[in-house]
């Protein structure tokens, strides 16, 4: 198996036609067909259903197609990285995020990264947690900050912390009379506003699952597209909303910490399995430095950290990350992960 065969297979899988695929890769159709057959013989599985029009991939073929795209994308990234290094061009990384992380540590982290590595451009992409997985595997993003636990053997997920949840209330609500912690059962029969409406699964499903596990029935559930809209509706006295503690944005609302140890939402850093890019180690070092500064949004009351002060990994095992980095503006220490 070689890269040429992978490119030939991807062309056939994409065009669903041997003739068009041959034109795309600039070879005659018979040798293209022979290369695909040799690939199937080597793998010992059928990749393409040739008796259908247009051609269809088998289940094994679909899996191989996804993995082939990842391999070819990685090769292109290697080529680009080497060329940039040789020419002295600026490097760049793409970081995806869910909107609620903008009210926690992400802005501070990005500022620290840009100060430490001024020759690397950072591109931020607003993406749901589940969508981040597909974009990571395709190579369109390099890192993701999300909240939904997913299972994907090709992605490493690191739980940075568990953020406590709070109930956002209009001041007129009877539940706003007390400023102490609130039990989930007190939310029963309330009109609950959840976000995001789509894509799903998302943080909204975390909240609904939490209430379902407690056997809590709601009067009504209203879905909105984003956090700001949800809090705006709460201010309009249209309902209540459960949000991460760092997202207490509006001063015209009352916030009550939820009294339940399971009422948390994880902040999860994701990257591709076996990706030894320098920026992964650099980002984790900066997160440790950021935590050590104890910024206001990182208080003990509203955050729970992995045991023994170490960052907890979930999903696939993580290979050793290379910590070789481009020259930083200031010397970098390697603090203990928190």
Cβ atoms of 66 and 74 closer than 8 Å = no
pLDDT at 89: 66
Task: Look at the block and give the residue holding tokens 């590595």.
Answer: 117
Residue 126's DSSP bridge partners are 97
pLDDT at 106: 94
Whether 336 maps to a domain, the answer reads no
Domain range holding 153?
A: 91-161+265-315
Residue from 245, 200, 198 nearest 226 by CA? 198
Cβ atoms of 137 and 295 closer than 8 Å = no
173-176-180 Cα angle (round to 5): 160
Q: Are residues 292 and 146 in the same domain?
A: yes
* Strand pairing category for 264-272 and 240-244: unpaired
Whether 136 maps to a domain, the answer reads yes
Q: Are residues 179 and 247 in the same domain?
A: yes
Looking at the structure of the chain, the number of domains it has is 3
Work out the burial of residue 156: count CB atoms within 10 Å of its CB; fewer than 13 is exposed, 13-18 middle, 19 or more buried.
buried
Q: Are residues 254 and 279 in the same domain?
A: no
Provide the H-helix boundaries in the chain: 3-15, 18-25, 29-43, 59-87, 106-116, 129-138, 203-213, 227-235, 278-292
Cβ atoms of 40 and 9 closer than 8 Å = no
Q: Are residues 156 and 282 in the same domain?
A: yes
Residue 216 CA, chain-centre distance (Å), reads: 29
pLDDT at 204: 92
Residue 144's DSSP bridge partners are 96, 270
Q: How far apart are CA 196 and CA 30, in angstroms?
A: 50
Q: Are residues 23 and 135 in the same domain?
A: no
Q: Are residues 126 and 62 in the same domain?
A: no
pLDDT at 330: 42
Q: Are residues 150 and 290 in the same domain?
A: yes
CATH number of the CATH domain containing 235: 3.40.190.10
Whether 320 maps to a domain, the answer reads no
pLDDT at 318: 39
pLDDT at 85: 65
Whether 325 maps to a domain, the answer reads no
Give the residues of the chain that fall short of pLDDT 50.
308-310, 312, 315-324, 327, 329-338
CATH number of the CATH domain containing 16: 1.10.10.10
Q: How far apart are CA 73 and CA 67, in angstroms?
A: 10
pLDDT tens figures, 220-273: 999 998 999 999 999 999 999 999 998 898 999 999 999 988 899 999 999 999
Reduced DSSP (H G I as helix, E B as strand, rest coil) percent helix, strand, coil of the chain, to 5: 45, 20, 35
Q: How far is CA 72 from CA 3, 50, 66, 91, in A?
A: 8, 24, 10, 20
Phi and psi angles of residue 82, each rounded to the nearest 5 degrees, phi first: -65, -45
pLDDT at 88: 65
Q: Are residues 172 and 110 in the same domain?
A: no
Whether 19 maps to a domain, the answer reads yes
Q: How far apart are CA 36 and CA 55, in angstroms?
A: 13
What is the crossing angle of helices 59-87 and 3-15, to 10°? Answer: 120
Q: Are residues 292 and 258 in the same domain?
A: no
Q: pTM higher than 0.85 for the full model?
A: no
Cβ atoms of 211 and 264 closer than 8 Å = no
Whether 115 maps to a domain, the answer reads yes
């Amino acid at each position: 198996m070689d890269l040429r065969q992978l490119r030939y297979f991807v062309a056939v899988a994409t065009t669903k036609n041997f003739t068009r695929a041959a034109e795309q890769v600039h070879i005659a159709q018979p040798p293209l067909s022979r290369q695909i057959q040799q690939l199937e013989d080597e793998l010992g599985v059928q990749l393409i259903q040739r008796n259908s029009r247009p051609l269809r991939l088998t289940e094994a073929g679909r899996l191989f197609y996804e993995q082939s795209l990842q391999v070819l994308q990685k090769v292109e990234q290697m080529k680009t990285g080497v060329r940039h290094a040789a020419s002295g061009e600026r490097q760049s990384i793409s970081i995806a995020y869910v909107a609620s992380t903008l009210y926690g540590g992400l802005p501070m982290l990005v500022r620290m990264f840009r100060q430490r590595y001024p020759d690397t451009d950072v591109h931020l992409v607003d993406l749901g947690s589940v969508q981040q997985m597909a974009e990571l595997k395709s190579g369109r993003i390099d890192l993701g900050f999300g909240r939904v636990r997913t299972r994907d053997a090709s992605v490493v997920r690191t739980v940075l912390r568990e953020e406590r949840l709070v109930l956002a209330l209009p001041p007129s609500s009877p539940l706003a009379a007390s400023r102490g912690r609130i039990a989930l059962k007190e939310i029963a029969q309330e009109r609950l506003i959840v976000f995001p409406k789509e894509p799903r699964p998302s943080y909204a499903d975390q909240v609904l699952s939490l209430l379902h596990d407690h056997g809590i029935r709601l009067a009504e559930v209203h879905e909105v597209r984003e956090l700001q809209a949800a809090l705006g509706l709460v201010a309009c006295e249209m309902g209540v909303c459960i949000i991460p503690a760092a997202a207490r944005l509006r001063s015209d609302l009352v916030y009550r910490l939820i009294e339940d140890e399971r009422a948390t939402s994880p902040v999860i850093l994701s990257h591709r399995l076996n990706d030894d890019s320098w920026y992964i180690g650099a980002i984790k070092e900066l997160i440790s430095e950021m935590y050590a500064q104890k910024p206001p949004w990182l208080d003990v009351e509203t955050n729970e950290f992995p045991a023994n002060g170490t960052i907890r990994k979930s999903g696939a095992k993580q290979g050793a990350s290379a910590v070789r980095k481009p020259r930083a503006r200031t010397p970098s220490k390697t603090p203990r992960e928190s």
